[in-house]
Structure 1
């Protein structure tokens, strides 16, 4: 994950905790990501959050279809995301006008959603300030 992929409000993992990106700054010839008012960390210490069924639930998506080869989640009245359970993963990603946009991490989905709607993708399940990643 590169810092150029991140925008404000993206959720990422730092030291096994989920943290929001609240800013970026150049320091000591490097790019640092602010995760709270006092802490800016080297972008290489951040990890992306993998998209899972649990995360789709937290984002308000509902499972609407399941077969031996695919699982589909819908965000009512807006979009779909398919998990391809086969080995080739051809039919996987954010479904937009019949095309799959590959994204496997939460920050990527947040960015796509914001680009298309101009709004933040809201986490419906309240996370603790710094929820521990299992």
Structure 2
């Protein structure tokens, strides 16, 4: 796999690809992660891939297509505004202050969301 994930990038609850199927991480160790697929299973980091952010994922995560603005997708949660220029860069603002993070993968977006709001980004894949 070319895009392996490092342990320090993950939190319990992150979604990753295992054998091409989205799975939710339930435990993290130095050797790999556990997930549930009818039973609790383990997978090493070399066999785990990140999930690229796509239009479908943005919509499932509550982003809406913007019309009449410079942004293609946006989501506001209180004072936090998240914007996306599709296929270029993500921009995050908190009360008008640019936060400077550019996630490419769903687990990165989940982590930023959790850091800013203290709750999980709800998304069903």
Q: Which runs of 5+ in 1 are unaligned?
A: 128-134
* Cα distance, 1:32 vs structure 2: 1.6
List 4+ stretches of structure 1 deviating above 6 A.
Answer: none
- The root-mean-square deviation of aligned C-alpha atoms, in Å, is 2.2
Partner-residue secondary structure (3-state), 1:19: strand
* Cα distance, 1:59 vs structure 2: 0.6
Q: Which runs of 5+ in 2 are unaligned?
A: none
> 2:74 corresponds to which residue?
73
Where in structure 2 are the equivalents of 1:75-94 lying within 5 Å?
Answer: 75=76, 77=78, 78-83=80-85, 85=87, 89=88, 92-94=89-91
Partner-residue secondary structure (3-state), 1:79: strand
TM-score, normalised to structure 2, is: 0.79
Query: For 1:9, which of 9, 13, 17 is the aligned residue?
Result: 13
> 1:130 corresponds to which residue?
none
Counting matched residue pairs gives: 115
Residues 79 and 70 (structure 1), Cα distance of their counterparts in 2 relative to 1, 3 Å cut: closer
Structure 2 residue 60 is the aligned partner of structure 1 residue 22: no
